[in-house]
Amino acid sequence: MSVFVDLQEQESAQVSEQRCVQLEKARRELERQLSGLSDRFEAEEACSAQLTLHRDRLEAECSSLRRDLDELDSALTAAEREKQVDYVIFTEDNLLELMRNFTRRGVDPRLLCHKEN
C-alpha cells in the first residue's frame, strides 16, 4: 500500500504543480492585460486633458467672438442712427436753401405749402 500511497502523492504533487503552472500563466496574462489597460488609461487621460484644454480654448474664443459681435451690433446701430440724423440735417439744410432761393426770387415759401382750389 505504501507504493500506492506514494503514487497518489506523486500524482497529487504533479496535479498541484500543473495547477501552479496554470495559475502562474494566468497571473502573467492578467498582469499583461493590466499593463495594457494601464497604458490605455494613461493615453485616454492625456487625450481627455487635451480635449478639455481645446474645449476651454474654443469657449474662450466663442466668448471673444460674442463680445466682438455685440460691439459690432452696437456700432452698427449707432451708425444707422447717425445716418438718419445726417439725413435729417441734410434735408433741413436743403429745405432752408430752397426757402432762401424762393425768398431771393420774391416768392413766399409758405405759399407753396397751401393748395389753391
pLDDT digit string, tens, across residues 25-65: 999 999 999 999 999 999 999 999 999 999 999 999 999 99
Q: Which domain holds residue 27?
A: 2-113
Instruction: Output 43-52 pairs: Cβ under 8 A, ≥24 positions apart.
Output: none
pTM for this entry: 0.50
Q: Are 107 and 98 in contact (CB under 8 A)?
A: no
Enclosing H/E stretch for 103: helix 2-104
- Total domains in the fold of the chain: 1
99 with 109: CB under 8 angstroms? yes
The pLDDT tens digits of the residues spanning 62-113 come to 999 999 999 999 999 999 999 888 888 888 888 888 888 888 888 777 776 6
d(CA 82, CA 76): 10
